[in-house]
Each structure stands twice: as C-alpha cells, then as structure tokens.
A = this chain, B = another copy of it.
Amino acid sequence: MYGDSKELFDRLGIRSTRQRKRVYALMLEQKEPVTAERIYRLLHGKEGDGTVNLSTVYRVLELFVNKEIVLKSMIAKENKAVYEINDMSHKHHVTCLSCRKVFFVEGCPLRDFEEKLLEQLDFQVAGHQLEVYGYCAECRKSQNGSGQDKNVLS
C-alpha cells in the first residue's frame, strides 16, 4: 500500500511508522517541490489512515533530508522551504516569474566553478543551490509577440 518504503526505512535504520510511510508515499507522487504545509494539507485530503500532525511532517521531512532521500531548498523571494524526493539526478529548477511554473533542467554548470573555488580560494564545496528565474516560452508568447516555440517539460 505504501510501496516498499518499509524496506527502504529498514535499510536506513529508521523505524517504519504510519506517518513516515504516508509522507514518503505522498512525496513520491509529487511532480514538483512542495512545502511542508502542502504535504500536511494533502495528507488531510486523503481519507482513511488518520492524520499526520504538522510538527510531525516537519520532523519526518527533516529526517528524510538527513537520510538524503529528500532534498530541501528555499524558495527564492519567499522565506519558506520546499521539499522533493532525491532521485540523485542533480536537477536544477527554473521558475517562470509570470506563471510560477517550475521547470527542471538536467545538468549543472557548476562543476568547473567548484574546482576553481578549491584552487583559488581553497574553499571545499559541499553543495550548492541554484535558482534561475525568467520567462517561459508560453508566457513570452502570450504577453508580447517575441516568443518562440513552446516547449514545456513540466
């Protein structure tokens, strides 16, 4: 019912609780990064298995982040965090300022940069977060005539 999260949790050495299973299952369904609040509300929307407290959602997400099965990042311009399943593919987000849609991009332009930091600054990079924002094809098309082909990835 919850996929084989039990197995995953065992492997991670953490207890398999109803709340963790529900949060994990819900995270798997998400196509874009979500806030803790949204997870909480989605869980309430689902019927059946009882509720999950908001504090618990936060605690479970924190645990998942520590175990690296979930990624956490801050939303640009707002001060709240969003979470997403870590599928190990190192995507970056591109946010349309007009429709707020989030696009994913594979690949990362930072490899060389990180090397440069180590050489020039003796700074050991542990991670990075890149927020790119601008305007997607569709919005540019509908707002001024200069848009080109549309190409929506989701």
A8 on the B face (CB < 8 A): no
Chain A, range 102-151, C-beta contacts under 8 Å to B = 103, 105, 107, 109-110, 112-114, 116-117, 120-137, 140, 147-151
* This protein's copies in its complex: 2
Contact between chains at B133 and A121 (CB < 8 Å): no
Contact between chains at B135 and A121 (CB < 8 Å): no
- The docked-state distance in angstroms from the alpha carbon of A38 to that of B79 is 19
- The docked-state distance in angstroms from the alpha carbon of A125 to that of B152 is 15
- The docked-state distance in angstroms from the alpha carbon of A116 to that of B105 is 10
Chain A interface mostly: mixed
Nearest CB of B to A32, in Å: 14
A74 on the B face (CB < 8 A): yes
Contact between chains at B140 and A121 (CB < 8 Å): no
- The docked-state distance in angstroms from the alpha carbon of A110 to that of B128 is 13
Please judge, given known A-B contacts A109-B109, A112-B109, whether A125 and B117 are in contact too, CB under 8 Å: no
Contact between chains at B123 and A94 (CB < 8 Å): yes
- The docked-state distance in angstroms from the alpha carbon of A125 to that of B132 is 7
A interface, CB within 8 angstroms of B: 74, 76, 79-81, 94, 96-97, 103, 105, 107, 109-110, 112-114, 116-117, 120-137, 140, 147-151, 153
When A and B form their complex, which 5 residue pairs have the shortest distance between CB atoms, in order from nearest? A122-B137, A109-B113, A126-B134, A125-B134, A128-B132
